[in-house]
Amino acid sequence: MEGVRKSETTQNDTLRLVQAASDALTDGMVERFATTGGNALEVLDCLNDEDTKDAILNIVDRVTELHRAGALDTLFDAVILMHGMRSALTDSMVERLMIWVETMISNVANEELAEFAGETVDAMHEAAVETSQHKSAGGLLSTIAMLSKPETQQAMKFMMTFAAKMQSNATASQGTTTDGK
């Protein structure tokens, strides 16, 4: 019997609380409350999509990792720094930056540099093939201990072959010969 009275008391208290809340709410407050509740339900409905749910859980995991590593503060500091830089940039600064980038690209992305890079790769490949075929045996009083090692001589042979191939490739691309004629 005691439990029934306690239950009735709790129900009556709850009803009085709901009645007091409804009396205190204006129509505008009820409208905003209903809109907020509807928006909250839309968000919850979006979480029912597996891809969205996985994405949200992944974000939570990654933020936790950032926090544990102490990188979360660093990330936000970087964002604040980028925002400050963006706010500080003037149109003339952006224009000068773009001119500098264009100049750098023009200097690096030219035909001669591309040709040189190709010649370097070809020379390195050819030198590696030739060097791997030549096995050094040592000599000249073991070329003072260090130079007597076959690996050292092979490396020196590689460098000499590389330089020779580089020279022949460069002169061949210019239409000249290496013998000075």
Q: What is the pLDDT of residues 31-51, one digit of tens each?
A: 888 888 888 888 888 888 888
pLDDT at 64: 92
Cβ–Cβ under 8 Å, residues 72 and 66: yes
> Of the candidates 53, 76, 72, 52, which has an alpha carbon nearest to the alpha carbon of residue 62?
72
Q: Give the three-class secondary structure for 171.
A: helix
Mean pLDDT of 4-24: 80
Cα distances from 139 to residues 123, 136, 155, in angstroms, run: 27, 9, 15
User: pLDDT, tens digit, for every residue of 155-173?
Assistant: 888 888 888 888 888 887 7
Q: Which residues contact 149 (CB under 8 A, 6 or more apart)?
A: 138
Kindly report, residue by residue over 67-98, the tens digit of the pLDDT: 999 898 899 999 999 888 888 888 888 888 88
Tokens of 42: 């839309």
Structure tokens at 114: 């591309």
Domain range list for the chain: 2-88, 110-174
Tell the residue number behind the tokens 């030219």, with chain if given: 110
DSSP helix/strand/coil, 25: coil
In the chain, % of residues over pLDDT 90: 6
pTM more than 0.85: no
Count how many residues are written for the chain. 181
